[in-house]
Chains A and B, each alone.
Chain A
Amino acid sequence: MSSFVLYTATGLGLAGLYFLLASGLSLIFGLMNVLNLAHGAFFAVGGYAAWWVMDSIDAVPSGPRFLIAVVAAAAVGIVSGVLVERGLIRRLYGHHVDQILLTIGLGIAAVALMGAWFSYDPRLLTQPDWFIRTTNIAGANVPNSRLLIFGVAVLFLVGLLLFLARTRHGLIIRAGVENPSMVRALGIDVSRSFTLVFAVGGMLAGVGGALGAVYFNGVSPSLGTSQLIFAFIVVVIGGLGSVTGTAVAAVLVSLTQIYVNNYLATGMGSVSVVVLLALVLLVRPQGLMGKALA
């Protein structure tokens, strides 16, 4: 029983990371039909920003310092997202395949760039003591960091849903996901929303990177790209463009992965997730809560 609780908590921590990485992908794809293969780089960039803050600002105690690190990771993520959309993606509007190719090249170059600057060896992240301590839940000693990651992801989920439901920008994004040409016909500049979703996606991925550095005990250039495949699976299972679907799918995928790894056979978790994807596509090609795929 106690091991079950531990696995579940670990799975929920991983679900938080998947959600932070996948929700941006899902929104970007839902609105712009751009599959952003450079998204993993945003994640790693956030991780490095957090690592840099934790490593260089010694004056601040480690708890508040981690808060600064997350804010820095979010800021760096926003800047990367806006730069990529404004500087590169924007030049190729209407050419979906070219946009995908562009993000592929960008992702490859960005990972190599980080490798050259920070080396391919993982950089260890200084963590506040509280993260490493455990909390006793139903007899299991759960590391606090897992709970923190899940908690932060839930906060961002609620924030994102409120943003989409209650603000004008959110309204335009939701309408744009439904029918971009209609939104344009009503005289609204959808392209500003494009920059906005890239900024939001970059921010979520950046925060995810900071938390991912905690979860995986360090930052390496492939921090995000190694998780990107699972983020894609989460996006497809959840349904493209649906934030709630992404959240549900993130939990489903990560728990499947962790349970299979621990109860059936080590290493089969990732394979089982792919099988899950195939099953969902056969039964429900549009995903759990998504619009029909083009």
Chain B
Amino acid sequence: MALLEVTDLRTHFFTREGVVHAVDGVSFAVERGKTLGIVGESGCGKSVLALSIMGLIPRPPAKIVSGSVVFDGSDLVRLREKELEDLRGREIAMIFQDPMTSLNPTLTIGTQITETIRRHYDVSKQDARKKAIELMEEVQIPRAAERLDDYPHRFSGGMRQRVMIAIALSCDPKLLIADEPTTALDVTVQAAVLDLLDDLRHQHDMAMIIITHDMGVVAEAADDILVMYAGQVVEQAQVLELFDHPEHPYTEALLSALPQIEGEGIRSGRLTAIPGRPPDLIHPPEACRFASRCPYANANDTCATVMPELREVRPGHQVRSAHPASERAGSVVGSEVPA
């Protein structure tokens, strides 16, 4: 049985201007010890999805209107706040994007780490501090024992992110959700943090969901990938399969919009831009949400009137589109994308 199984999750925001369908029918599963990468641009609902899993969405405007999030047998959506609090940190942990604002500037690092430990385990302050030092060493913060009582502002961005990881790991969770963990970091630090996450994952046999807009990060870190657009999953596959055979027009466009580092004629070539903008989530289109920007859509297709379902077009590879690459006229099934 999968560690986490999300079925048809819908999270809507009830605002004055209307109901924002931020997450609109998302289903996926995460196996123990594996990493799922969720990619999409801003507004696609990936962060709201993560917060919904953790039960951290702001409850007046937002609400999980339907669906289930089954973690290790129990449906998180049905749990009471107290039970969720017991779960958070202990079984499922989360790290956030901006290390500058996700740590409390008025508490020492030591306090913030031990606070989490003592919330979930009945240990003395001494023992908690010992554990905290161990954790800091594990995330490779130099001179851990001395720095335990430092305040966040004395750490650099990369170090703070490590502290966040230490806090997240303090109770040995089964699942770690990382929301844009490297976006605010420099490229060289990014690589180190990803390596750290990878090592820790192996050592603790932890599953991970990594949410990002960066295709490169997900290519490195993920085993499976979910591509999100306008609140829905539009493509789902294993990482090699997805990059070798991108099926959904959005995924293809996204990949070809990326500037390249290697190759010929880069300077003179144009990037393939995606015209237009993502749809309004208050009044999403009845039919395919990508249609207005899709180079293959035309008024006579089913996708103009009916929402395409998520279906399998290649083994283990699901797409929500009426025009997946392998079904387009002129394409040869099984052909490789030129590397």
Same assembly: no
| B positions within 8 Å CB-CB of A | none
| A positions within 8 Å CB-CB of B | none
